[in-house]
Structure formats: C-alpha cells, structure tokens
Amino acid sequence: MLCALKASHCAYACVSNVVRLCASAQLVIAEPDALSGVPEYLRIIAKPVSDLILNGTDPTTVPNEQILAAGGGLLRRDIEYIATELLTCTCSEVPTTAGEPFNSLLKNLPADQPKVNRRDLLKQGAGISLLDVIDIQKTLGNCTCKGREQAMKQQAEKPDDALPRFQFRHPKL
C-alpha cells in the first residue's frame, strides 16, 4: 500500500517500510476532512503485522488466519465504506477495469453480518489482511481515486481559520 510495491520486494520488506513510515508519522488528533475514517483502516490492518515484525517474526511465515484473529483485517463493510469515500478509482495495471480496487478486495469475502462483532468475524476468517492487500496491489498497480482528489482539493480550499486548532501546553506553564 504505502510502499507501492513497484520493486519485487517481498511482503515482509514492504510491511517493514509501512511500519517505519507509520512510526515516524505524527499523531493526528482530528481529521476534519471527508476521508477521516480511511487512515484508521490502515492502522487496523497494520497493527498485528507490525507487532509480528517488532517481535522478530516475518509476517509472511504466519498463517493469515492468525493475523485476522489478532484483529488485523478489513471486513466487507470496511471496504464498502472506503469505496464510498474514495469513489471511482483507476489502477495503473488495469486502467480500463471498472470497480477496482474494490472488486478485487471484496472478491472472496462473505456477505456482511451486521449484527456480528468485527472481532468475531475476523476470527472466522471473514476478512482480508495487509498481506492480502499487498498481493492485490501487486496485480492492480497503483490506484488513484476521485474521492481522494476531491477531499484534498476541498481541504486545500478551506481558509486557515476554518481548520481546527490544537494547542499543547506544558502543565507547568
């Protein structure tokens, strides 16, 4: 995802880069734009994989079911929500294929069970892990989405005084 997988690096190297990128990022307190939930999904699928890496385990050697059972997966409902936020996408390796990357992400997922807790669904294997997303991205290439472009444009057009302000003060000051 973040590392774009242009080179023929193994998934472990890609995940390590994602972890390094996430670790160096600043904590965002509020996300006022239309895509505020999308980064949360990256956190959901990256956390169990990064835990494995930090424990010295190559995540590609761990069964996908174990990663999903640790909460590291996206459900059908997650991908459908992301699709409503990102809108129409064009993927570099399949530029004329409509519905991607969402069709590929949803391909083997069962119908959603809205009354079942996400952790229970993931323990049943009803999700896709970061490693699955990496494999799909290798096939589709980089994807550019209209919703992301629109949200970034709207965010850039907001006057500075419309953006939330956060102040951090030392308790002794």
**Could you list the pLDDT tens digit for every one of the 173 residues in the chain?**
333 333 333 344 444 444 443 443 333 334 444 445 678 888 999 999 999 999 999 999 999 999 999 999 999 999 999 998 889 999 999 999 999 999 999 999 999 999 999 999 999 999 999 999 999 999 999 998 888 777 667 767 776 555 554 444 445 54
Burial class (CB in 10 A: 0-12, 13-18, 19+), 172: exposed
| Domain ranges, ordered by start, for the chain | 11-27+34-154
Q: How many whole angstroms separate alpha carbon 99 and alpha carbon 89?
A: 7
Residue corresponding to tokens 């996408």: 89
Closest CA to 144 of 4, 15, 12: 4
Closest CA to 18 of 42, 36, 2, 38: 2
- pLDDT at 65 (0 to 100): 96
* Entry pTM: 0.68
